[in-house]
């Protein structure tokens, strides 16, 4: 299904409503995908998307991408000739005396900010027309129409004129703890093919939770009802993580909560439940040493709701999975791997990177299979899967997930045992696979193979897996080890492949999905990469 953020698509254009909190494009190689990167890798027909203009990360609204050389050329020229009309909406809590006025200045960069300066011949001229749309006792709503396109232009001009935008402390605005109240409401230009005027508009709620609006931009409720609803400091409330699981929430925090609504964290959870019309919430205390935590201590407790099921079914990418809140620390599905499961389901990894073998002929080995989420996605697409895990309980859970999705577990292989031991056994038997999936725990220990630590032993794991990978097969490698940097992780994989006498011919690094936003205060935890290996 098309993501909800898409407003319009034709042969030449893709128009979206970008939510606040999502970059237009990735600011750095491992800093998380921008909406452009995510869209470009989402559908094969979007592989050649081009950025024509940008919006600040915290600004929401209409964003236009080109799909063809004709569109790219036409739109670029229209922007350069200032033939594109843009209308923004903003809110300020400062008085605005005039009803309508134009601000014209130079703009120059000063550290992390931009500043308005008197016009000079050598400067970068910027012009914005403002009009008051509505006044009330505490706030003023304005329309802004920029005739030039300088970075932070509207924010700089609003602050320069004495009414910084609400939620913009960088330019002197009152901090809200939610979002920058600036929205690109409308854009008008000539269609690159027909030459006729086209107008695209989008609405937003300035005061709805920015975290909720971000998720609504790319989560299709008919397909998916389980995702990270609030991600710590990235969503303006540190050390609190909330996941939507069907009609319920699972909240996790590093400190115990009071059931009192005056508790700040509890208030956030209640508000998320209200906005998303959820029935209730469970709470789990995050433990620093999971391995030493007893199951009963890690099992979530009901925070609010008259009654709630401990086991139920969630929906992801059109698939269904059993989850249980009676199983201690984990409930049966790692939500940060949703986009990677979709890649198995569709056979499309990224722009210009797809499975070459038809799903009906595909052989997939899923190591550390847990409850077999990857296997279900691959099998639903037609592949034959082998799921390997050290836990009989989780493999049985995985078989239930197969049955839930109308897949016959008897038509697939489930192997109970130590992954390292079985990789050697399968290699001796001459077994090979088109796709090998490696998503080990950060730390594990078994009688057969001893201790595994991802930051030290990932290369050893890959070396054992490579003999099972067919020529031009795909290796998926993943870790959430916080002490293993992405650069080091990729270097380990490349060195191991080279030492095995093989060669990486395609590579796509995947950060965690956008419902797990990456910020300076909330760094990335998940590192995943897809490799085609000759």
Could you report the per-residue pLDDT of 263-285, keeping only the tens digit for each? 788 888 888 998 889 999 999 88
pLDDT at residue 367 tops 80:
yes
pLDDT at residue 295 tops 80:
no
Q: Is 264 labeled as catalytic in the residue annotation?
A: no
pLDDT at residue 32 tops 70:
yes
Taking residues 165-181, report their average pLDDT: 94
CA 336 – CA 507 distance, rounded (Å): 20
Looking at residue 45, what is its pLDDT?
Answer: 96
Could you report the per-residue pLDDT of 505-524, keeping only the tens digit for each? 999 999 899 999 999 999 99
Parallel, antiparallel, or unpaired for β 50-51 and 60-66? antiparallel
Could you report the per-residue pLDDT of 333-357, keeping only the tens digit for each? 999 999 999 999 999 999 999 999 9
Looking at residue 328, what is its pLDDT?
Answer: 66
CA 455 – CA 48 distance, rounded (Å): 36
pLDDT at residue 290 tops 60:
no
Looking at residue 297, what is its pLDDT?
Answer: 64
Could you report the per-residue pLDDT of 128-145, keeping only the tens digit for each? 999 999 999 899 999 999
State the chain's mean pLDDT as an integer.
93
Could you report the per-residue pLDDT of 466-517, keeping only the tens digit for each? 999 999 999 999 999 989 999 999 999 999 999 999 999 999 999 899 999 9
Evaluated on CA atoms 331, 227, 458, 521, the torsion sign reads negative
Determine whether 153 is exposed, middle or buried from the number of CB atoms within 10 Å of its CB (0-12, 13-18, 19+): buried
Looking at residue 126, what is its pLDDT?
Answer: 95
CATH numbers and ranges of domains, the chain: 6-201 (3.30.2350.10), 219-315 (3.30.750.80), 334-533 (3.40.50.150)
By C-alpha distance, which of 405, 448, 408 is closest to 424? 448
C-alpha dihedral, 231 to 16 to 168 to 189, nearest 10°:
170
Tell me which DSSP letter residue 483 carries.
T
Lowest mean pLDDT among 46-55, 177-186, 263-272, 410-419: 263-272
CB neighbourhood size of 49 (10 A):
20
Looking at residue 331, what is its pLDDT?
Answer: 93
By C-alpha distance, which of 527, 533, 458 is closest to 492? 458
Taking residues 381-395, report their average pLDDT: 97
Looking at residue 448, what is its pLDDT?
Answer: 74
Lowest mean pLDDT among 49-53, 185-189, 327-331, 530-534: 327-331
Q: Are 386 and 435 in contact (CB under 8 A)?
A: no
Looking at residue 47, what is its pLDDT?
Answer: 96
How big is the CA angle at 77 (ends 75 and 78), to the nearest 5 degrees? Answer: 65
How big is the CA angle at 85 (ends 81 and 91), to the nearest 5 degrees? Answer: 135
Looking at residue 262, what is its pLDDT?
Answer: 57
Looking at residue 176, what is its pLDDT?
Answer: 87
CA 262 – CA 79 distance, rounded (Å): 50
Could you report the per-residue pLDDT of 8-22, keeping only the tens digit for each? 999 999 999 999 999
DSSP helix/strand/coil, 26: coil
Which of 56, 235, 389, 418 is catalytic? The answer is 56
- Report the predicted TM-score, pTM, of the whole model to 2 decimal places: 0.94
pLDDT at residue 259 tops 70:
no
Element (H, E) at 155: helix 153-160
Q: Are 15 and 64 in contact (CB under 8 A)?
A: yes
Looking at residue 1, what is its pLDDT?
Answer: 85
């Amino acid at each position: 299904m098309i993501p909800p953020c898409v407003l319009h698509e034709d042969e030449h254009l893709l128009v979206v409503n970008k939510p606040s909190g999502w970059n237009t494009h990735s600011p750095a190689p491992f800093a998380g995908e921008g909406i452009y990167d995510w869209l470009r890798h989402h559908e094969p027909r979007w592989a050649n998307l081009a950025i024509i203009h940008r919006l600040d990360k915290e600004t929401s609204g209409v964003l236009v991408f080109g799909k063809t050389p004709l569109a790219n050329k036409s739109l670029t020229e229209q922007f350069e000739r200032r033939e594109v009309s843009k209308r923004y909406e903003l809110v300020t809590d400062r008085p605005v005396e005039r009803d309508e006025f134009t601000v014209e200045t130079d703009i120059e960069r000063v550290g992390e900010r931009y500043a308005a300066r008197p016009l000079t011949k050598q400067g970068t001229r910027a012009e914005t027309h403002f009009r008051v749309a509505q006044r009330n006792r505490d706030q003023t709503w304005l329309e802004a129409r920029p005739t030039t396109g300088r970075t932070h232009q509207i924010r700089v001009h609003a602050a320069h004129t004495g009414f910084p935008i609400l939620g913009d402390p960088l330019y002197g605005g009152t901090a809200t703890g939610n979002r920058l109240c600036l929205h690109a409401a409308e854009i008008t230009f000539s269609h690159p093919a027909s030459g006729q005027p086209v107008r695209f508009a989008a609405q937003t709620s300035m005061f709805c939770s920015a975290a909720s609006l971000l998720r609504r931009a790319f989560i299709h409720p008919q397909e998916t009802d389980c995702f990270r609803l609030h991600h710590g400091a990235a969503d303006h409330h540190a050390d609190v993580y909330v996941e939507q699981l069907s009609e319920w929430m699972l909240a996790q925090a590093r400190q115990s909560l009071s059931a009192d609504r005056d508790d700040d964290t509890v208030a956030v959870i209640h508000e998320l439940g209200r906005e998303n019309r959820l029935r209730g919430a469970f709470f789990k205390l995050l433990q620093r040493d999971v391995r030493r935590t007893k199951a009963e201590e890690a099992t979530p407790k009901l925070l609010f709701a008259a009654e709630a099921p401990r086991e139920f079914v969630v929906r992801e990418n059109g698939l269904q999975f059993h989850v249980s809140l009676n199983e201690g620390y984990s409930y049966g599905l790692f939500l940060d791997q949703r986009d990677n499961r979709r890649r198995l389901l569709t056979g499309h990894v990224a722009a210009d990177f797809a499975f070459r073998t038809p799903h009906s002929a595909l052989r997939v080995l899923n190591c550390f299979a847990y409850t077999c989420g990857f296997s279900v996605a691959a099998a639903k697409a037609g592949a034959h899967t082998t799921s390997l895990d050290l836990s009989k309980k989780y493999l049985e859970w995985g078989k239930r997930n197969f049955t839930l999705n109308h897949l016959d577990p008897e038509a697939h292989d489930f192997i109970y045992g130590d992954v390292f031991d079985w990789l050697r056994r399968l290699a001796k038997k001459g077994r090979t696979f088109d796709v090998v999936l490696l998503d080990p725990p950060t730390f594990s220990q078994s009688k057969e193979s001893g201790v595994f630590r991802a930051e030290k032993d990932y290369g050893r794991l890959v070396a054992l897996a490579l003999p099972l990978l067919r020529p031009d097969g795909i290796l998926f490698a993943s870790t959430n080890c916080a002490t293993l940097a992405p650069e080091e992780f990729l270097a380990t994989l490349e060195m191991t492949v080279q030492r095995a006498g093989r060669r990486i011919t395609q590579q796509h690094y995947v950060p965690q999905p956008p419902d797990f936003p990456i910020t300076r205060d909330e760094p990335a935890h998940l590192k995943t990469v897809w490799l085609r290996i000759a």
